Amino acid sequence: MVLLADHDPSDCHSRLIQAATEVFIEEGYRASIERVAVRANVARQTLYNHFPSKADLFGEVIKQATAALLVTLDGKAEGLRERLLRFGIAFRAKALSSEGLGFYRALVAESKRFPELAATFYRTGPAQTAARLRGVLQEAMDRGELRPADSEFATTTLLSMLVGAERSHFLLSGESPPEPDPARVAQLVDCYLRAFASEISHSNPAPQRSVP
């Protein structure tokens, strides 16, 4: 499952999160707690011992997926390009995978009926991701690696470049998403870095390194 990091099948908590992810993708938020318990091969009460409500379970699914993604922005000893490449590859792998698209489709379909669903998703997923990325970009601006700019705008621009138009395409066209392509991510990240390059970078361009 692309949405989550590797999980331990012997761990009940991990199995419940994995099962919930699969069931939410297949059936949407209206899926029953019983279906999740059956998929995880545990008793319903066991599930409630770990997660008091469906909203708690859904929030943990998003939290786990987001945590795995945010780890890719660690590594301050590395250059900005390497960090953004690693993040971009992981971000696109989650957002543009069949599972990621299915999850997003189910979320949009259910958001009006279950407003707490959309709020939980945004607060635990996109908002956390944007905040962490915004911090990385602001630090790069403070160091002079990027030109001074509104960090909110810089963050939104990068996230939009990485998935925006392509996610709409694969959600609506009926085409299957392609396999992850690190070269495509490098193309997008390099385009972004040129757009936000500092004056120093323009006068002394750094040599391009290969995709990690």
- CB-CB contact of 25 with 102 (8 Å): yes
Exposed e or buried b per residue across 5-23, where buried means at least 16 C-beta atoms within 10 angstroms of its C-beta:
eebeeeebebbbbbbbbbb
Question: Would residue 178 count as lying in a domain?
Answer: yes
Question: Would residue 3 count as lying in a domain?
Answer: no
pLDDT of residue 76: 73
Total number of domains constituting the chain: 1
Handedness of CA 5, 10, 12, 15 (dihedral sign): positive
Question: Would residue 26 count as lying in a domain?
Answer: yes
Domain that holds residue 151: 12-203
Question: Would residue 105 count as lying in a domain?
Answer: yes
CATH of residue 140's domain is 1.10.357.10
Per-residue 3-state assignment (H helix, E strand, C coil) for 178-205: CCCCHHHHHHHHHHHHHHCECHHHHHCC
Question: Would residue 1 count as lying in a domain?
Answer: no
pLDDT of residue 42: 93
Question: Would residue 103 count as lying in a domain?
Answer: yes
Per-residue 3-state assignment (H helix, E strand, C coil) for the chain: CCCCCCCCCCCHHHHHHHHHHHHHHHHCCCCCHHHHHHHHCCCHHHHHHHCCCHHHHHHHHHHHHHHHHHHHHCCCCCCHHHHHHHHHHHHHHHHCCHHHHHHHHHHHHHCCCCHHHHHHHHHHCHHHHHHHHHHHHHHHHHHCCECCCCHHHHHHHHHHHHHHHHHHHHHHHCCCCCCCCHHHHHHHHHHHHHHCECHHHHHCCCCCCCCC
pLDDT of residue 8: 54
pLDDT string in tens for the chain (212-residue length): 445 555 555 689 989 999 998 898 888 778 889 999 999 999 999 999 999 988 889 888 888 878 877 888 887 778 999 999 999 999 999 899 888 888 888 888 878 888 887 888 888 888 999 999 999 999 999 999 999 999 999 999 999 999 989 999 999 998 988 888 999 999 999 999 999 998 755 444 544 555 55
pTM of the model: 0.78
Question: Would residue 24 count as lying in a domain?
Answer: yes
Question: Would residue 177 count as lying in a domain?
Answer: yes
